[in-house]
Structure 1
């Protein structure tokens, strides 16, 4: 089926669930029965609707936290699902949640948006996540510590910042982070702890 025909099925979906809460920490939907939903969507575009309803909110929140702009976040989230629907026949189920694939599409769309506008990346810092990050770094909270840490986070490249956000502010497991970034669970751990060491060194030199 041509893309134009596929999109005719998408338009009604885009009117659904347009007012999700933008906060962090969305419980991941159950993946029970997910393979059957994916197989059905590959055969019939209109069968994509249950996947859209299931994952719109967590994908929207993921995008919103990196933009802090509701309208733009909705536009990008819609594009994520259009891309997913058009390319769903390329998706191979390997036991990972369908959402991992959607998050990778979302990351690509976010990168395209930032690159096209040379816009600055938004960092939404919550106190609980920040405390978890500091505890993991095993650092004493000296005067100006929080300010220096915030500055260090602001200077991170997009990929490194994504890793910190997913682990400490979105409370994702290393397994899920690995699935989203398409790396192993152990690789996700190694990358994060090397990154934390780098942040500590930057702060010591500040």
Structure 2
């Protein structure tokens, strides 16, 4: 089975970057900067901090590129691991918990104002419920469902086994179901 053209191109760029080819690393930067920024932004919730941390992540990646194993995890997973570790260190120095930003869901879809308000309220309920998860559960949910990463990539980024990531995700989804079930839907009145 042959690799997809994009994969081959990525491998070639990585090999050239390992050989200290700045143009190749620049191309890798262009490919992945949005994803790295988004990942960090979801963790820190501040665009200026996310920009600074994304720049630091790419600087660290450039400095450590010769230690990347081409036959190991995909380059983007390695890069997101660096970004993730930087964001975690930043959050530890800033405050004890991470919260998802207000802009988790795009509300710009066309619709009547009532539908838009309902989507915003539901989005806030989900975001608030995710923010109440334990740190490892919140990170796994963000990586799996916001970043849309596969289990092996998530495991590599958070430094756990695939089995552990599956267990964390299962527990997080159960906690979210319980949490969402506790909250009254918009407009509901409590009887009693």
Match of 2:46 in 1: 69
Quick one: distance in 2 between partners of 1:150 and 1:74?
22
2: CA distance, partners of 1:58 / 1:147: 23
Q: In the TM superposition, what are the counterparts of 1:83-102 in structure 2 within 5 Å?
A: 83-102=60-79
- Given that 1:63 and 1:73 are in contact with CA atoms closer than 8 Å, whether structure 2 keeps it comes out as yes
145-154 or 112-121, larger mean C-alpha shift: 145-154
Instruction: Name stretches of at least 5 consecutive residues in structure 1 with no aligned partner.
Output: 1-29, 129-143
Specify which of 116, 119, 133 is matched with residue 93 of structure 2: 116
1:190 to 167, 171, 191: 167
From 143, 159, 169, the equivalent of 1:166 is: 143
> TM-score normalized by structure 2?
0.68
- CA distance in 2: counterparts of 1:39 and 1:88, whole angstroms: 9
Correspondence 1:128-147 to 2 at 5 A: none
Q: State the alpha-carbon separation in 1 of the partners of residues 131 and 150 from structure 2.
A: 23
Pick the aligned partner of 1:126 from 92, 105, 108.
Answer: 105
3-state SS of the aligned residue for 2:44? coil
Match of 1:15 in 2: none
Structure 1 residue 119: Cα displacement? 6.3
Verify: 1:178 aligned to 2:163, yes or no. Answer: no
Out of 57, 61, 65, the position equivalent to 1:80 is: 57
What does the per-residue CA deviation read over 1:170-200, in whole Å, with 9 as the maximum and x for residues that have no partner?
3333343234334444442222112323444
Measure how far apart 1:123 and its partner are. 1.0
1:42-61 pair list within 5 angstroms: 42-46=18-22, 47-61=24-38
Q: Report the secondary structure of 1:71's partner residue.
A: helix
The alpha carbon displacement at 1:85 in A equals: 0.5
For structure 2, the residue ranges without an aligned partner over 5 or more in a row are 1-5, 108-120, 184-192
Structure 1 residue 158 displacement after superposition: 2.4
The CA RMSD over aligned residues, in Å, is 3.0
**Following TM superposition, by how much is the alpha carbon of 1:78 offset from its aligned partner in structure 2, in angstroms?**
0.3
